[in-house]
Amino acid sequence: MGTYVFKLPDIGEGVVEGEITAWHVAVGDTVSEDQPMVDIMTDKATVGIAATNDGVVTKLHGQIGDMIAVGGPLIEFEIDGEGNATEAEPEPEPVAEPEPEPEPEPVAEPTPAPAPAAAPAPAPAPVVSSGGRVLASPVVRRRATEAGIDLSLVPGGGPAGRVRNADLDAYIASGGAMRAPAASTGVARTGTSEHPVVGLRRKIAEKMVESKTRIPHFSYFEEIDVTELEALRQHLNATKGPDQPKLTYLPFIMLALTKAMPNHPECNAIYDEEGGKVIRHEAVHLGIATATDRGLFVPVVKNVEAMDVWGAAAEMQRVSGACRDGTATMEDLAGSTFTITSLGRDGGLGATPIINHPEVGILGVHKARDMPVVLNGQVTVRRIMNVSSSWDHRVVDGADGAALVQSLKRLLEHPALIFM
């Protein structure tokens, strides 16, 4: 029998370390080749690491949330044969803490003799209480006690519900028919729970802080009449083939952006801060912000300019679905030049989306709704969708960001232009 040390393999270009987000094996488990063992998160994606050999797990290097360098030991196995373990430097012996000096034995104090019991006081008239402390003067309390009345049942007409003599008189005159408002049955909550910020949640936090602190954002809002686009969308969905995906607004927005970007190249760009330059892209690689049970991912639909509406919809569904089911690759999550974020039915009226660093712009899409509008001097119902955008003011001037959104508005309000 020998010891086999499994080291974190190279899991992507430029990746030098990864964070442990989940263990699928424990010490003592028998593992077979290709069995999933651990999930490692990098800057790009979460990667499942499988076993390359059979053996029994004898040691796990790291806990959830720990960072492991590429090439560093990850798992140790006991295997048939000699294994690959070499003589390593012995781990430093833990420094023994000095034993604390024994505390002196507590000296028992004599127990005082019990005091003689006092004579029991006469019991007051029985009053059944149904609530908490009632606001009332001592005079009112004495009268209520003498009459055997529970003050909590008397509606108080004074400040903060204080029961006055007049309130008590009215209660007695009614024969107890009056009732105070029922006390609240709500229970105060006091519990807390702790949730370690590890894995994807940590990466999202780091990314948002980096973007918001390094990029001077400005935002721009607009509303778009998508009545004609909605008619086109419904017609295409009603006549689509069995292998074609159902169309939402996003594929049309994606194509409209590819149509508009050549006239606004400063918006389809990456800001290289270290190199002190802006890299403008001819290709439009659109990041699609995707909410999953594990957090927010931004998969990328590449070269949207080369797609038709069906191809854009299919690829968007593929990469978004891969994020939701955990099969997205690093290639699926890298290389975006501009990002779209949409909350769908929960889209609200507006937002100030945070730019996906190092891009220079992001578009937020909100829920479309029927609204009364004035058209040709007449009030009519049109389908209106709001959009929000944020821009890197170091690179994109206010007029430039506004011009891109206005170009998008023109294309979506006259959707035939998207395909011309």
Q: Output the six-digit token pair for 361.
A: 């712009």
Task: Catalytic residue, from 357, 393, 400, 414: name it.
Answer: 393
Q: Widest CA span of the chain, in angstroms?
A: 103
Query: Of 397, 345, 387, 386, which Cα lies nearest the Cα of 362?
Result: 387
By DSSP bridging, strand 269-272 and strand 295-297 are unpaired
Query: Residue 79, SS3?
Result: strand
Q: Render the burial of 263-299: b for 16+ CB within 10 Å, e for the rest.
A: ebebbbbbbeeeeeebeebeebbbbbbbbeeebbbbb
Task: Supply φ then ψ for residue 126, to 5 degrees.
Answer: -65, 125
Task: Catalytic residue, from 10, 66, 80, 397: name it.
Answer: 397
Q: What are the C-alpha distances in Å from 250 to residues 233, 241, 370?
A: 11, 19, 18
- Count other Cβ atoms within 10 Å, centred on residue 109: 6
Burial class (CB in 10 A: 0-12, 13-18, 19+), 140: buried
Q: Is 397 marked active-site?
A: yes
Q: What are the C-alpha distances in Å from 350 to residues 59, 287, 315?
A: 51, 20, 27
Q: Is 393 marked active-site?
A: yes
Our CA angle for 322, 324, 326, nearest 5°, is: 65
- Count other Cβ atoms within 10 Å, centred on residue 2: 13
Q: Both ends of the chain: CA-CA distance in Å?
A: 70
Residue 40, strand partner residues:
20, 47
Q: Output the six-digit token pair for 201.
A: 């949640």
What is the C-alpha to C-alpha distance for residues 33 and 6, in angstroms, rounded to an integer?
A: 12
Give catalytic residues, as residue numbers.
393, 397
